[in-house]
Chain A
Amino acid sequence: MKRIVHFIALLLCSLGLIPAQAAEPVRIGFSIAKTGLFAQAAPSQITAYELWANQVNAAGGLDVAGDRRPVELVWFDDESDPAKSAQIYEKLISDEKVDLLLAPWGTPHHLNVAGVVERHGFPMVGNTAASVAVREVQPGNIWFSTSAIPDRIGPELAALAKQSGVKSVAIIANVLPFAQENLQFLVPALEAEGIEIALNESYPPDISDMTGLLSQIKAAGVDGIIALSYPADSFLYMGQAREVGIDVSFEFLLVGPTISAFSQAFGDFADGIVTIGHWSPHQSKWSRAKPFFDAYVAAYEMNPDYLDTALAYMSCEILEQAVATAGLDRDKLRTAIASSTFDTINGEVSFEGVENAVTPTAFLQLQGGDMHLIWPEDIATASFSPR
């Protein structure tokens, strides 16, 4: 009887109808901010990793240069500490002997881990790092798939505002690094476009009420507001802007609108909010985009984060396609990542140095509860709609 069962299992495996679980798993390591400051943000990344791993295993395993092998994720909590993240990658490579690496969450963690992967010559595709500082990283073993880099966001956002008829803006900015880096490039870009900056205020990350700030913005009589905010203050802004009677045609929030909870909290009132992001499931030219969105919603009963989850999933797709051609040999893998063009949920991606050379810096807008790309024109899924 046992022999018959084994024969049937072998037959189904050979036909690709059930995964070849007997094969040694490909161990893929990463650190995750399970606790600490970034613990709220990190789930957007780990859900993408889990979804991808489950999909790969359900499809018979990871294609390792022709052989199918199951994927096993190996992760440790970095407690939101970039230094600890670097130690974990050291451990993953030296002690755990993982076959592949996925990226940690956030810019500081990426920058800390860059030294480790460089020292070991272990290629890793980054995802949620967004700073001009990524260009200072030694190219060769780390690549950044984002196009939301502040020195590009500034000029593009100013151009979008100008095209949207904005003549004067108020800027409020969180003092945390990503917001301030954006502010640094945004102000000259707005001035270059001839847009008046009527108010430019920064605020601390623990701000718990914005009524005063918003009252000043209202008094300034601007037609555009750019809030270089993080998720908590994006929520605060939205909750209080309507109460203060803010009524402008162009409202931009830096980080926050792409997470599922944002739409759940504000519903129709969030319509028209513009934010950073270069992926939308509505872009029909990207054949993988909508299936990914549907699979994510089915798995987690919420929308993916249009920025971080999309980036994390893209990095998995890039790694998957590189491994399919190069296998697990690090030199071949490095060459494959650096020189290939990948088909991702965000369209084609290829790298020049450490940067994504294809995906343009783009902006999203909530329209009728859906997140649409509104900039630039060649990937837009809808036109800008005034608030």
Chain B
Amino acid sequence: MIEILISPQLAFSALVLGSLYSLIALGLNLVYGTMRLLNIAHGDLIMIGAYTTFWIFTLTGIPPFVGLPLAAGIAAAIGAILYFSIFRRQLSGIDRVERIEANSLLLFFGVSVILQNTVGMMFSGSPRAYQFLDTVYEVSGLMMTGNRLAILIFAAIVLTSVVIFLTRSQYGLSISALIQNQTAARVVGINVSRLQFVSFISGFALAGIAGALVSMTEQISPFMGFPFTIAAFVVIILGGLGNIKGGIIAGMLLGFVEIYVVVLTSANFRSMLIYGLFVGILLLRPEGLLGKTRRH
């Protein structure tokens, strides 16, 4: 047991899973943080990213890394259409956060159903998959499948870039200010509407990127998104709704807990312990691990 626990194999898997959880949750958190919209179609955008990458690779042989920007672009384009057609009006007409959250839940539920069924009609519901970078590399006894290593590297690059952008650039700092306090951000001259639009499509683009990475290791289908939506919500609530860094830390924590809990107890307890941890943290810290009380 000790040998398994200290093996680099488990640590590698925990890093891969944690970074994926963090990446999946990042886009959702960005949209919620800046606009208080609860995007329950987030997993369906991951599905869109996965399908885009699948078709690009299958039809042209272009590797997922190269197809990844297009996956992000298509997801962002969907975001732009939704923003201008539905959500801009929603945001401008309602002042109460609770109302925005409730309305967005219903609206995104509709978006989710439309996306699933549109993709289902276009490509059928049959699961699809492709074989890419599945060579196993060995480094000092640690075995790493190429596609899982790629997920870890790309997720780390995206997560680091987003954090640097939000903490070092003028634009990113404006978004951070908007996340912390929308009214104050408006008072100091930040163009809230523009930032909300940029955050909205960036959140969608990040989901598209996550989908492109997921497609390298999992079967894809029009209905694959829901578990990702659930995982993303667990992560952002654990980390503190709208808290970008908190979400990343919570994603990594969840990855490690999941991997090591299975070895220490039983795979059977996996879901029970993860959701137990989730409920426990919510009871002790309703604002999440790193969350702070926000003002709209």
Contacts and interface: CB of A to CB of B under 8 A. Distances in A.
B268 A204 contact: yes
B127 interface: yes
Interface stretch (A42-50, A126-134, A160-168, A376-384): A42-50
B117 A35 contact: yes
Interface of A is mostly: helix
Contacts of B134: 239, 242, 266-267, 269
Contact of B4 (A216, A236, A261): A216
Interface in A53-76: none
A264 interface: yes
Given A39-B125, A243-B148, A264-B129, A219 B143 contact: no
A177 interface: no
B271 A204 contact: yes
Most buried by A among B113, B144, B263: B263
Interface string B109-150: 000010011001000111111110010100000011101100
Interface stretch (A94-102, A108-116, A206-214): A206-214
Interface in B249-266: 258-260, 262-263, 266
A267 B134 CA distance: 10
A230 to B, nearest CB: 11
A105 to B, nearest CB: 11
A203 B131 contact: no
B103 interface: no
Given A40-B125, A244-B143, A264-B129, A215 B267 contact: no
B10 A215 contact: yes
B227 A206 contact: yes
A235 B129 CA distance: 10
B221 interface: yes
B224 to A, nearest CB: 8
A212 B271 contact: no
Contact of B270 (A204, A236, A245, A262): A204
A209 B258 contact: yes
B258 A219 contact: no
A210 B145 CA distance: 14
A34 B119 CA distance: 12
Nearest to A244: B9
A212 B129 contact: no
B32 interface: no
Given A202-B268, A231-B219, A212 B10 contact: yes
A265 interface: yes
Interface residues of A, number: 47
Interface in A193-236: 201-204, 206-213, 215-216, 219, 231-232, 235-236
A40 B221 contact: yes
B73 interface: no
A58 B91 CA distance: 55
B161 interface: no
Contacts of B144: 243
A261 B117 CA distance: 20
B204 interface: no
Contact of A216 (B120, B128, B263): B263
A172 interface: yes
B17 interface: yes
Contacts of A210: 267
Give the interface size bracket for B toward A.
35 or more
Given A44-B126, A203-B270, A211-B259, A39 B10 contact: no
B131 A208 contact: no
Contacts of A36: 223
A277 to B, nearest CB: 17
A302 interface: yes
A320 B222 CA distance: 32
A244 to B, nearest CB: 6
Interface in A237-287: 239-240, 242-245, 259-262, 264-267, 269
A34 B118 CA distance: 12
A34 B258 contact: no
A202 to B, nearest CB: 5
A43 B126 contact: yes
A110 B136 CA distance: 43
Nearest to A309: B126
Contacts of A204: 267-268, 270-271
A300 B125 CA distance: 12
A215 B128 contact: no
Given A35-B116, A215-B9, A40 B143 contact: no
Interface of A: 34-36, 39-40, 42-44, 47, 172, 175, 201-204, 206-213, 215-216, 219, 231-232, 235-236, 239-240, 242-245, 259-262, 264-267, 269, 300, 302
26 contacts: A34-B120, A36-B223, A40-B224, A47-B126, A172-B267, A202-B268, A203-B268, A204-B267, A204-B271, A211-B13, A212-B262, A212-B263, A216-B263, A219-B3, A231-B127, A231-B219, A239-B145, A242-B134, A243-B144, A243-B145, A259-B126, A261-B128, A264-B130, A266-B131, A266-B134, A300-B126
Interface of B: 3-4, 7, 9-10, 13, 16-17, 113, 116-117, 120, 124-131, 134, 136, 143-145, 147-148, 217-219, 221-224, 227, 231, 258-260, 262-263, 266-268, 270-271
Given A39-B120, A265-B219, 18 more contacts: A39-B221, A47-B126, A172-B267, A201-B266, A202-B266, A202-B267, A204-B268, A207-B267, A209-B17, A210-B267, A212-B10, A213-B267, A231-B127, A261-B126, A261-B127, A265-B130, A300-B124, A300-B126
